[in-house]
Structure 1
Amino acid sequence: MKLFTYTFIICLLIACNNEASTQGVTSEEKTTISTQQLKKQLTENGFQIFDYIDEKSGDTILMQQYFIAFLKRGDNRSQSKSEADSLQKLHLAHLGKMYEQGYADISGPFGDDGDIRGITIYNVPSLKMADSLANADPMVKAGRLKIEIHPWWAAKGFPLR
């Protein structure tokens, strides 16, 4: 219980400090400043971006180019069960590493047994980089999966629903 209380107090102090540091700045100014900084950072790092005006709301939405990798059934599926299980563990570790390092935003398998086995959305500035990261996957190296990558535009910062 003491740990919970201390954690709550620390979070409260941090929240109060953050609020105090932005007093006198309107929420619109905070958004404008942070959007301008984000655009500058993305552009400096080589990302492709553009503004989209939502006709319904009139809001300006920042669009960013991502790269969606389709993980397709590969030509070499002759591994034993233990080899395939080992490759699957390495595959999941690779995808986890991509997420932790900020290169991939979302990954997951499809729920059917089709040729397209899953997707990964790469948050990187170039097709070349996305291709390199996707092809570093142990399942791809073993030929159990193959990669097909396409540029994909999405609104920056919008969550999945």
Structure 2
Amino acid sequence: MKQLSLIFFLILLGGSIQAQMPTFLLGTWKQEGKPLFEHWDRNQDGNLKGFSYQVLDGGEMLVSEYLDLSVEGKGLIYKATVLNQNQGKGISFEGSLVGDTYTFVNAKHSFPKVISYQKLGSDSMKVTVSGGEKQFSYKMGKVKNAKLGKEIVEHGANNASMGESYDENLAKSLGADDYGMKNYFLVVLKTGENKTTDKEFINTGFRGHMDNMGKLVKDGKLVVAGPFGKNTDQFRGIFILQNLKDIEEAKAVVDTDPAVKAGLLGYSIYPWYGSAALPMYLPYSEKISKAKP
């Protein structure tokens, strides 16, 4: 806790850092001893955008978070958007510069509360993450001639060449955030508690299930639906729902399903963060279906 108090004191001492963007971050950095990376670019408005990723054993790149550094008023704001956390919302930290260290603080956030980048040299830096009594730090070295996968660059770097293909109107119509993503609800359908063997009752329930899915698609609420193969978990299928404000509203939508009402299906719901372009496949789905369910 003493170190955290000291950091707050240094921030007050450091004051405004307007126009002092940490441009030394530009490029790709690798954590010492681990296949963990950060990549930073400067966009057209002079702000920095970055993303953290891991390189898996097969060479695939797995993005874990997106990062923004922007000047707001007279201060520098660092925003981290961790995938599958905080319902896809970014967490902002206020920054200050003391010596060769940029420190970003959000005292209200559970963890981390403080993130700092210390420039050690032209090709090395130290990153420290802390909150209360919990703290860890690591060194990163700049990677020369780093080759990023095309899908990572297109989705995360948001550099000038990407800006040429950005369609602002389309992004707004789809409800996309700055990374082309938005919040959904993933519904896992399970075998229900009603174990009836009445075939007519079962058939009626599942005909209503199929009809209700069609209605939800037309209402703009259901994006994806499909059954699982045979499994030991009694999982029957999934829904991905959109344009709903919270889990309670998602539950109300799922509860309109006749098979759920009849107890033939149960379910669990999870917040899910995915591409806002996902619904764009729907107009083509009927064109490629010979048989109708």
Q: Same fold (TM over 0.5)?
A: yes
Instruction: Say if 2:193 and 2:265, in contact at 8 Å, map to a contact too.
Output: yes
Amino acid at match of 2:185: F
Q: Is structure 2 residue 217 aligned with structure 1 residue 81?
A: no
Count of residues in Structure 1 that have an aligned counterpart in Structure 2: 116
User: Could you tell me how far apart the structure 2 residues matched to 1:29 and 1:153 are?
Assistant: 23
User: Structure 1 residues 112, 143: closer, same or farther in 2, change over 3 A?
Assistant: same
TM-score (norm. length: structure 1): 0.63
Following superposition, the deviation at residue 84 of structure 1 comes to 0.5
**2:239 aligned partner:** 120
Aligned structure 1 segments of 4 or more residues deviating by more than 4 angstroms: none
TM superposition shift of 1:87: 0.9
Q: How far 1:94 moved relative to its partner?
A: 0.6
Partners of 1:81 and 1:113 in 2: CA distance: 22
Greater RCO (CA < 8 Å, at least 6 residues apart): 1
1:148 corresponds to? 268
CA contact (8 A) 2:221 2:244 kept: no
Separation in structure 2 between the aligned mates of residue 132 and residue 142 of structure 1, nearest angstrom: 15
Shift of 1:34: 3.7
Query: What value does the CA root-mean-square deviation take over the aligned residues?
Result: 2.4
**Which 10-residue stretch deviates more, 150-159 or 92-101?**
150-159
2:211 matches 1:93: yes
- The equivalent of 2:227 in structure 1 is 109
- Residue of structure 1 equivalent to 2:73: none
Q: CA deviation at 1:75?
A: 0.7
Shift of 1:82: 1.1
- Identity between Structure 1 and Structure 2 (%): 28
Does the Cα contact within 8 Å between 2:185 and 2:241 map onto a contact in 1? yes
Of the structure 1 ranges 142-151 and 123-132, higher mean CA displacement relative to structure 2 is found in 123-132
**2: CA distance between counterparts of 1:132 and 1:150?**
14
TM-aligned CA deviation for residue 28 of structure 1: 3.2
Residue identity matched to 2:209: H
- Residues 135 and 99 (structure 1 numbering): CA distance in 2 closer, same or farther, change over 3 Å? same
Give the unaligned 5+ runs of structure 1: 1-26, 43-48, 52-60
Residue in 2 that maps onto 1:32: 168
**Aligned with 1:95: secondary structure?**
helix
Q: Which has the higher strand share?
A: 2
Contact 1:67 1:124 in 2 (8 A): no
Q: Counterpart of 1:84 in 2: which secondary structure?
A: helix
Counterpart residue type for residue 99 of structure 1: V
| 1:119-157: CA deviation from partner (whole Å, max 9, x where unpaired) | 010012322221111011111111111120000000111
Cα distance, 1:50 vs. partner?
4.0
Structure 2 alignment gaps of length 5 or more: 1-162, 282-293
Letter in 1 for 2:256: A
Larger Rg: 2
SS in 1 for 2:217: helix
Residue 23 of structure 1 corresponds to: none
TM-score normalised over the length of structure 2: 0.36
Change beyond 3 A, Cα 1:29–1:145:
closer
Higher helix share: 1
Instruction: Identify if the C-alpha distance between structure 1 residues 64 and 30 changes in structure 2 by more than 3 Å, giving closer, same or farther.
Output: closer
